[in-house]
Amino acid sequence: MCGRFLLDSDIEEIISTYRIFKKEIDSFDKGDYYPSQKAPIVLEKGERSITLAKWGFPYGSKKKLVINGRAETIMDKPMFKNAFYSGRCIIPANLFYEWKDEGNRKKIMHKISLQDSNLISLGGIYKLSIDENSNKQLIFVIITTEADKNMRSIHSRMPLIIKEDMVDIWLKDSTSIQVLKKILKDNKDNDLIIEKGEDEKHQQLKMF
């Protein structure tokens, strides 16, 4: 599961890392990002762009937010299917957080980053939505997979990390289903730095 991440890099670093041609934003708020907040995403519609999108797909009559989509079902579930085929994106982050259940209602926060890169490319999908004021906005979810061997002792799920050589392929509309399936299943052997943090209350969020 992925319910919080940190982005503290300058926009210039993101533009350089992802070879972005079109800026739809000039800046963003650095720091921790939570569900329902607007965060920078990288997408490709004709040209590589960076823009802001709200984290979470509304679900049900009470408009609960679904913030993650399972890799195992994301190509089939009605909520995600169209966005997966036509709206794949990357959510840049410096690290993400996960909480390990220690029992007795105690959860320990861990910070997870990459050893060989300042930025992590979290795989996600986005789509156009209408907000409560009838304004158009982009919304996104982060894809999760089974945890790899490094993460398994902390949590059974982890966000999909798009490896550097797969970024272009992930974003292109023309990428074949077979290749996309391979990317979804290849979320392992990531060189992670895992730092144990302080005891912190963990808010349970709905995940599909």
pLDDT of residue 132: 77
CA distance 93 to 50: 13
For the beta carbon of residue 193, count every other beta carbon within 10 angstroms.
Answer: 12
Taking only the tens place, the pLDDT of each residue in 177-190 is: 999 999 999 999 89
Residue of 13, 44, 98, 146 marked catalytic: 98
Instruction: Judge whether 158 and 187 are in contact, CB under 8 Å.
Output: yes
Domain 5-199, CATH number (from 3.90.1680.10, 3.40.50.720, 3.40.50.12280, 3.40.30.10): 3.90.1680.10
Question: Is 2 among the residues known to form the active site?
Answer: yes
pLDDT at 208: 44
Q: 36 is written with which tokens?
A: 């329902």
Catalytic-labelled residue, pool 2, 72, 102, 200: 2
**pLDDT, tens digit, for every residue of 126-158?**
999 987 788 899 999 999 999 998 898 899 999
Percentage of the chain beyond pLDDT 70 is 93
Q: Are 95 and 113 in contact (CB under 8 A)?
A: yes
Domain boundaries, the chain: 5-199
Question: For residue 95, which of 202, 207, 197, 201 has the smallest C-alpha distance?
Answer: 197
Max CA pair span of the chain: 51
